[in-house]
Homo-oligomer: A and B are copies of this chain.
Amino acid sequence: MLSPADPAVPATFPAEFAAASWGQFRRAAPLVHCLTNEVVQSVTANLLLAAGASPAMVVEPQEAAQFSALADALLINLGTLNHARAESMLAAIESANRAGTPWTLDPVAVGALTYRTDFAQRLLALHPAAIRANASEILALCGHPALGRGVDSGDDSLKALPAARALAQQTGAVVAVTGRVDYVTDGQAAWAIPGSDPLLTRVVGTGCALSALVAGFCALEGRRLDQVAAACALMARAGERAAAQAAGPGSLLPQLLDEVYQLAEGAA
């Protein structure tokens, strides 16, 4: 049986670490180049703006490469992958790696779908700074069978932590496996971030937008494991506060953005 004393269950990421990191993010205002899916572009940009970052979506391959060299961070999200977007992603990653811009992978729905799963495997060799995914996606990246529906529960994210550690060791990335409780690991150390509210799963793009935050926090100075955990903590804390006031998923999203804004401002 797992217990807090069990070394397999990571310690909770301290609130004071998180608050310090949020202030650092707000002051740095990183420029985050997002190559993300069609469905979530607006909520992704709005979450970054609320947290104090500058989002930009530049998609033509030549421009994507130019822009990744100028940006502070790059997000690669496979949600509505197609051939044209895959070409832009490869150009942007190559340019980011040349310029030293950290890039983050969100491997949406890898597993059952062949094209994106093959593409994600190819990207793993290109030195991502971070990977943010749910339990099922982390397991699929490691070649394990998918858990199927209901993978976002806290239990499942803990079950995927060993795979997340292995993935971190294999790729050099900090890996965040998110669910009711989020776990973040660099392959050795790990943090737990509790408190994600299930109502957040009724708003499209909250996971994808969190990946954009993770990308932005990778641009900050300091231990990357802590910065990625701070990104997860910002979403979890804001989500918890917003869900406590929301009448449903419609009112949740505006309140979530307001809470992120206030937490990043240090006003909440």
| A interface residues with partner B (beta carbon < 8 Å) | 37-43, 45-46, 49-50, 54-60, 62-63, 66-67, 70, 79-84, 109, 112-116, 149, 201-205, 246-251, 253-262
Contacts and interface: CB of A to CB of B under 8 A. Distances in A.
Nearest to A54: B149
B55 A204 contact: yes
Contact of A251 (B55, B113, B258): B258
Contacts of A56: 109
Chain A at the B interface: SS class: helix
Contact of A250 (B80, B116, B253): B253
Among A43, A116, A204, the most chain B Cβ lie within 10 Å of the Cβ of A204
A246 B57 CA distance: 26
A71 B86 CA distance: 24
Given A66-B112, A114-B66, A116-B63, A46 B249 contact: yes
A82 B60 contact: yes
A39 B42 contact: yes
Contacts of A70: 112
Given A112-B70, A253-B254, A257-B249, A39 B49 contact: no
